A and B are shown apart, each in its own frame.
Chain A
Amino acid sequence: MSLLTVSNLTKRFGDLTAVDGASFDIEDGEFVSILGPSGSGKSTILRMVAGFEAPTAGSMTLDGNSLVGVPPFERDLNMVFQNLALFPHLTVAENIGYGLKQSGVPKGERKDRTAAMLEMVHLEGYGDRNPDELSGGEQQRVALARALVNEPALVLFDEPLSSLDRKLRQHMQSELQRIQAETGITFLYVTHDQEVALSVSDRLIVLNDGRIEQVGPVEELYDEPATAFVADFIGDVNAISATVVERDGEHLTLDAGTATNLRARTDGRWQPGDRIDVCVRPHEVRLLDAVGDARSFATRGTVRTRSYQGSDIVYTVETEWGPLTVNARERGHAVGDEVAVTWDAADAHLFPAGESDAESESTDATAERSASESDRARPEGA
C-alpha cells in the first residue's frame, strides 16, 4: 500500500480550476518532487495534502486513512514553508520544540529530541539564538529540523530553497538527501526549479495548468517525455515545426519549409500531411565539419554564440531551421565559424504540432511559460 494516495484531486477557486483531477501515489521512503511552472497548481496540491485547502473533489489517503476533512493539526505530516515561517518570538530551540510541545511531549524528552535535531542539521549551539540572527541557510536547517522533529510519516516542502543562492542551494539539496536517507521519512517536494527536482528526486510529477502531464523516474521523463511540455520543461530542447512529407516504415521525411528536409525514426502513427513538432535535446545535436559527413541529414549553420560550461561548450548555431542550441564536447568552433549540424534520426521526439503553443494561450499559462523559460535559460539546466 502506498503511503500517500491522491486520486482525482480537484480544486476550483470560483471559475478558475487550479488542480484538475490529479492522481498519484507516493511510496514509503520515497523522495518525490512535483515540478511545474508557477501557477500550475503544485502548491495547491501541497496545501490540500497539508490540510490548508479543502479539495473541491477527489480523495487523499495517508497510510490508508482518508485526509479529507481532517484538520492540519491532526495530520501525521509536517511542512517546510516557502518563506520558512519560523516563529520570530521563539528561539531556535523553541521553534524546533514547538511541535513536540503541542503533542504533549514531556520537557526533558523535548530537550533531548530538540538537541538531537540541532545536531542532525549541524546547528549545535544555536538553540538559544533567535531565528533572525541566523543566515538564510541556517534558517532553512531550523525549518527542516522543526518539520522533522515530530517524526511524521511525510514531510512536505513548498519550494523552501528558492531564496538561496545557487551554491548554498546545491549544498542544501545534498543535505536534504542525506537527511532523508538518515531518517527514512518520505519527502514530497514542490518546485518550479527543474535543477532541484532533477537532482534530489527519486520520481517526478510534472504538472501543467492544473493537470499532471507525466509521473515517473527522472531519467524516464528526460528520455521519454510523454508530451512536448515535459520535453520542454525537463531539460532544454530545440523545437522545429514541420510537416510529414513521406512515411517509410519507421522512417519519416519532414519538411520544415526549408531547403533541407529533416528525418526522423519513430513508431508513432504519423501520416503524411501531419503537422508535428520535432524536439531534439541540445546534447543530441552533433557538430560536423561538413554536411557530407552526416549519415542521414544535416544542414549548414553559423556559430552565433559560444559559452564555456565546464566539460561542455554550449553553442548557438543559426540554421535554416532556426537557431539551435548545441551542447558539445568539441571546443574547436569559434563564433562566426561555418559548421554543419545533425542528429540521429532516432533521437528526435515528435509531438503533434502546436500542443505546447495551445497550452500557452491563456494568460496564466503564458506567465508559467515565461517562468519555465527563465529556468531553462540557466545554462546548468540541461
Chain B
Amino acid sequence: MAEAASTEERSTGRNRRVRALVTYLRDRRRLRTSLVAGPPYAVLVLFFALPVLTMLVISFRLGSITGPFTLDNYANFLASDTYRTVLWRTLLVTVEVTAIVTVVGYALAYSIVRFSRRTTLLLLLVILPFWTSYIIRMYAWINILQSGGVLDSTLVLLRVVDGPVGLLYSQEAVLIGFTYVWLPLAVLPFYASLSNMDPDLIEAAKDLGAGPIKAFFTVTLPTTANGVVTGIILVFIPTFGSFITPRLLGGTNSIMIGMVIENQFKSAFNYPFGAAIGMIISAVVVAVLLFGARGGGTLFAGGDGP
C-alpha cells in the first residue's frame, strides 16, 4: 500500500512538474518563440553570419590571418587599375550571361507551361544536367567547342562552314558555358511563376485589345516579375563569383574576379587580400541587385495609369 501510494505520488509529482513546465512556457511567449525559431537562427548565425564576420576581420589583416590590422587590402584593390578592370569585366560578363539566360530561360519556361503536355518530363530534362558534376559538364563543352570538336564537325558536315571554327578559348565559349550551366536555375523559378499565372489574364488582355506581343509585355511579364527577379538573382550571384568556367572555356581575355580571389588563397597565399576582394564583390553584388531591383520594380510596375 505504502509503495503504491508513493508511486502514485511520484507520478503525480511528475505530472505536476510537466504541468508546471507547460504553464511556464504558456506564460512566456518569447521563450516559446525562441525555442521554435532558435535552431534555424542558430544555423544562420553559425554557418553564415560568423564566417562572413570572420572573413571581414581577416580582410583587415596585413599579409596573413594573424597579421596586424590595416586598411591596405582595400586601399590596394581600389587603387589598382588592374583589379578595377577585372571587376568591371566580371560585371559585364555577368550582366551578359544573366540577360542571355533570362531570355532563353523565359522562352523555355514559357513554352513548357503554355505549349507542352509532358511538363514533368521536360522539367526533368531541364534539371538533369544538375546530376552531373560542374567540371564534367565543362569538359563536355570543351569537347563540343574545341577546334575539330563536335560542333565543328557538325557544322562542316552540314556545310555551314568550310573548316573548323574552334569556338573554344573565347569569350563566346564562356558565355555558352555559363548559359548552359545556369539555365536550369533560371528556368525553375520562371516555370513556377508562369504556371501559377492565371492564363485568363492573357485572354483578358487580348480581349481588351492587346495583341500577343503587347499582352506579353503588359501582362505576362509583369505578373511573373517575382519569378523573373528570383531567376536573375540566382544566375547573377554565382556567375559573378565564377572561376572555373572562364578558366576552362575562356581565352587569354577571360579573367574574372573569382579567379583573382582563388589565386589569393591557392597560390599567392594572401588570405587577407582574398578576403578583402570577397567583401568588396559581395558589396558590389548586393548594390547591383538592390539597384536592379529598384530599376526592375519600375520596369515591371506596368502601365503608367490611365
Contact = CB atoms under 8 A, between A and B. Distances in A.
B305 interface: yes
A137 interface: no
A87 B302 contact: yes
B306 interface: yes
Nearest to B203: A52
Interface in B45-82: none
Interface string B198-209: 101101111111
Interface string B294-306: 0000001111011
Interface string A67-87: 000011100001101110111
Interface in A188-215: none
A102 interface: yes
B245 interface: no
B237 interface: no
Given A83-B198, A83-B200, A89-B222, A102 B305 contact: no
Q: How large is the interface on A (under 10, 10 to 19, 20 to 34, 35 or more residues)?
A: 35 or more
A114 interface: yes
Query: Helix, strand, loop or mixed for chain B's interface?
Result: helix
Contact of B303 (A72, A81, A101): A101
A73 B223 CA distance: 20
B306 A114 contact: yes
Interface string B210-230: 110011001100110100000
Interface string A84-117: 0111111101101111111100010011011000
B300 A72 contact: no
A72 B203 contact: yes
Contacts of B203: 50, 52, 72, 79, 81, 85
Contact of A89 (B209, B214, B300): B300
A98 B303 contact: yes
Contacts of B219: 87
Nearest to B199: A85
Contacts of A113: 306
A93 B198 contact: no
A72 B207 CA distance: 5
Contacts of A97: 303, 305-306
Nearest to B225: A89
A52 B214 CA distance: 17
Contacts of B303: 90, 94, 97-98, 101
B305 A93 contact: yes
A51 B211 CA distance: 13
Contacts of B225: 89
B140 to A, nearest CB: 40
Contacts of A86: 204
B228 to A, nearest CB: 12
B302 A85 contact: no
A150 interface: yes
B208 A89 contact: no
A101 B306 contact: yes
Contacts, number: 87
Nearest to A81: B200
Contact of A73 (B200, B206, B222, B306): B206
A81 B198 CA distance: 11
A70 to B, nearest CB: 12
B302 A146 contact: no
Given A90-B302, A94-B302, A71 B207 contact: no
A73 B301 contact: no
B206 A81 contact: no
A85 B198 contact: yes
A91 B303 CA distance: 9
A224 B137 CA distance: 75
B210 A87 contact: no
Contact of B211 (A73, A94, A150): A73
A92 to B, nearest CB: 10
Contacts of A82: 200
B204 A79 contact: yes
Contact of B210 (A50, A73, A96, A110): A73
Nearest to A109: B306
B306 A110 contact: yes
A282 B60 CA distance: 91
B302 A79 contact: no
Given A72-B206, A89-B225, A150-B208, A94 B306 contact: yes
Given A72-B206, A89-B225, A97-B306, A102 B214 contact: yes
Contacts of A79: 203-204, 207
A81 B204 contact: yes
Nearest to A105: B306
A45 to B, nearest CB: 16
A73 B207 contact: yes
A107 B207 contact: no
Contacts of A73: 206-211, 215
A100 B300 contact: no
Interface string A28-67: 0000000000000000000000111000000000000000
Contact of B301 (A72, A89, A146): A89
Interface in A107-160: 107, 110-111, 113-114, 146, 150
A107 B300 contact: no
B142 to A, nearest CB: 44
Contacts of B200: 81-83, 85
B300 to A, nearest CB: 7
B222 to A, nearest CB: 5
B192 to A, nearest CB: 16
24 contacts: A51-B206, A52-B203, A72-B207, A73-B206, A73-B208, A73-B209, A73-B210, A78-B208, A82-B200, A85-B198, A85-B204, A86-B204, A89-B302, A90-B302, A90-B303, A93-B306, A94-B302, A98-B210, A98-B218, A101-B303, A102-B205, A102-B210, A111-B305, A111-B306
Given A72-B203, A85-B203, A94-B303, 11 more contacts: A73-B208, A73-B209, A78-B208, A79-B204, A85-B204, A87-B302, A91-B305, A100-B306, A102-B210, A107-B306, A150-B209
Interface of B: 198, 200-201, 203-211, 214-215, 218-219, 222-223, 225, 300-303, 305-306
Interface of A: 50-52, 71-73, 78-79, 81-83, 85-91, 93-94, 96-103, 107, 110-111, 113-114, 146, 150
